[in-house]
Amino acid sequence: MAYDKFNVLTSTAYPLPIENVDTDQIIPARFLKATERVGFGDNFFRDWRYNQDGTPKTEFPLNKEIYAGSKILVGGKNFGSGSSREHAAWSVYDFGLRCVISSFFADIFRNNCLNVGVLPVQVSSGFADQLFDAILADPKTEIKVDLPNQTVTLVATGASESFEINTYKKDNMLNGFDDIDYLKNIEDEISAFAKTRPF
């Protein structure tokens, strides 16, 4: 599944300072029934964005006009726990986001994000708090995520922190490549290996 290359992203951000946000909140299971990858952005955080009668919950950050168009979401600790549904990562991307910042990510969600072109940026909890404080004080706060240099910066103050990503995944994100491109290139090596497996 091709995605747009990621290099340096400067954007305002949606703040979601809630811990243990699970994938059933990011995209509830009843919206996993498509057989194509379309429309997942509409149901991103469906039950936190909308009441059961379909009216929007205006106080929820993703519904606030003041943050509209942001490409970054800053989430609380242990973001994306729960299910392996890649639909959660698709819904992040399809909603228009390219980057999620948190002080801690659940494992499968992080991996799924990297596979679909969403950059998971893990920062210290102190820096995450700085980001939340800055956004809540000024919703127009811009955050710069620099993938080549692996830094995330509060543009207004210059406060910055570096983040980890392995070189292979970084190159993929910078070039819009994915793992299948890599694996298809080593097909012969894989089929030779397959012959050695007992079952």
Partner 1 sequence: MANTLFDKVWDAHVVRKVKEGPDVLFIDRHFIHEVTSPVAFLGLESRGNDVVYPEKTFATADHNTPTINQHLPVEDPLSANQLDALERNAKKYGISHWGLGDKNNGIVHVVGPENGITLPGATIVCGDSHTSTHGAFGAIAFGIGTSEVEMVLSTQCIMQPKPKSLRININGSLGVGVTPKDVALYIISKLTTSGATGYFVEYAGDVFTNMSMEGRMTVCNLSIEMGARGGMIAPDEKTYDYIKGRALAPKGKDWEKAMEYWSTLFSEADAEFDLELSFDAAEIEPMITYGTNPGMGIGVSKSIPNSDPSDSGATSYKKSLAYMNFDEGESMLGKEIDFVFLGSCTNGRIEDFRAFCNIIKGRKKAANVTAWLVPGSHKVVDQIKEEGLDKIIDSAGFVLREPGCSACLAMNDDKIPSGKLSVSTSNRNFEGRQGPGSRTLLASPLVAAASAVSGVVTDPRTLLN
Binding interface with partner 1 (CB under 8 A):
1, 17-20, 22, 24-25, 28-30, 32-37, 47, 52, 76-78, 81-87, 89, 104-108, 111-112, 115-116, 125, 166-169, 178-180, 182-184, 186-187, 189-191, 193-194, 197-199
| Closest among 102, 155, 99 to 124, alpha carbons compared | 102
| Closest among 172, 28, 8, 1 to 98, alpha carbons compared | 8
Give the nearest distance from C-beta 27 to partner 1 in angstroms: 11
> Considering beta carbons, is residue 135 or 153 the nearer one to partner 1?
135
> Considering beta carbons, is residue 11 or 89 the nearer one to partner 1?
89
> Considering beta carbons, is residue 140 or 184 the nearer one to partner 1?
184
Give the nearest distance from C-beta 160 to partner 1 in angstroms: 22
Give the nearest distance from C-beta 61 to partner 1 in angstroms: 14
Q: What are the helix and strand counts (H, E) for the chain?
A: 8, 8
Q: Which residue type occupies 7?
A: N
Tell me the backbone φ, ψ of residue 69, rounded to 5 degrees.
85, -5
Give the nearest distance from C-beta 143 to partner 1 in angstroms: 21
| Closest among 6, 44, 45, 16 to 128, alpha carbons compared | 16
Measured over the CA atoms of residue 97, residue 99, residue 102 and residue 105, the dihedral's sign is positive
> Considering beta carbons, is residue 108 or 153 the nearer one to partner 1?
108
Q: Which two structure tokens, joined as six digits, stand for 140?
A: 């127009």
